[in-house]
Amino acid sequence: MWVDTHCHLDAAEFAADRDAVVARARAAGVVLQVIPAVEAANFDAVRELAQRHGLAYALGIHPLYVGRAADEDLERLADELRRRRDDPRLVAVGEIGLDLFVAGLDLERQRRFYLAQLALARDAGLPVILHVRRSADLLLHGLRRVDVPGGIAHAFNGSDAQAAQFAALGLRLGFGGAMSFERALQIRRLAAVLPEHVPVLETDAPDIPPQWLYRSAAERAAGARPGRNEPAELPRIAGTLAGLRGWTPEHTAAVTTANAFAALPRLAALKAGPSS
């Protein structure tokens, strides 16, 4: 049994074959996916997909979307968290965080939305799913100010010290397709040496394709179709983690699933799959 802790199943890239994507994932043993929202406009979409397919979802406003978000969207998020508080498929507040990689973003607005959403997660008793891109220290600062019940630092690519601090605050660290690239030295080293209770698996599909799906700029220019990532790739991604740690596939599945359930406790009750 595999758990994809981060998949944007609502993305336009899946519009033509979304049901088949879910079916392929289940055939590959990926029985649960977490679908995080990125803005208020897709709150309903992620919830409805989770309900339809027996998956899980998170509600939040992504740092790349706060520039076009209205201040009232935070109130809408608060209202949705209250309305859905008894929905077992709502497992986290996310995807939220900070992005210091993309040029031209308003950092102060990002920080305001991030801290406000941490407070909403705290008040709702929900863990968080964090977007971490060149922003680990600022995210940690926020987590020390606002005590949330754990969660996941998604697509983690920080230092050893930062990894230890997230773990000390009760968060697990997400590893996906980037780990499959031999040049991703720090990610691969962290994946190999972190305490066993820390790593969880994710695809971030349709993004962050693993090495075997990646197309270079030259290949794309020559007409090669970009490789779309999807949840069915998770077991092969897991094989990278198993190889780095010297684990069997069975042990890798058991450990990463247990870690996902610890990070997002409501997931455990969903493991039987879709309900009637």
The binding site consists of: 6, 8, 95, 131, 154, 204
Closest alpha carbon to 152 in 9, 11, 8, 36:
36
- Vertex 231 angle, CA 230 and 237, to 5°: 95
Strand order in the sheet with 151-154: 2-4, 30-36, 56-59, 90-99, 128-133, 151-154, 171-175, 199-201
**Hey, what amino acid is at 137?**
D
Instruction: Tally Cβ neighbours within 10 Å of residue 195.
Output: 9
Report how far residue 244's alpha carbon sits from residue 115's, in angstroms, rounded to the nearest whole number.
35
Give every CB contact of residue 247 below 8 A, 6+ residues apart in sequence.
241, 255
The C-alpha torsion from 4 through 86 and 272 to 206, rounded to 10°, is -20
Report how far residue 256's alpha carbon sits from residue 267's, in angstroms, rounded to the nearest whole number.
13
In the annotated binding site for a divalent metal cation, the residues are: 6, 8, 95, 131, 154, 204
- Vertex 153 angle, CA 147 and 157, to 5°: 135
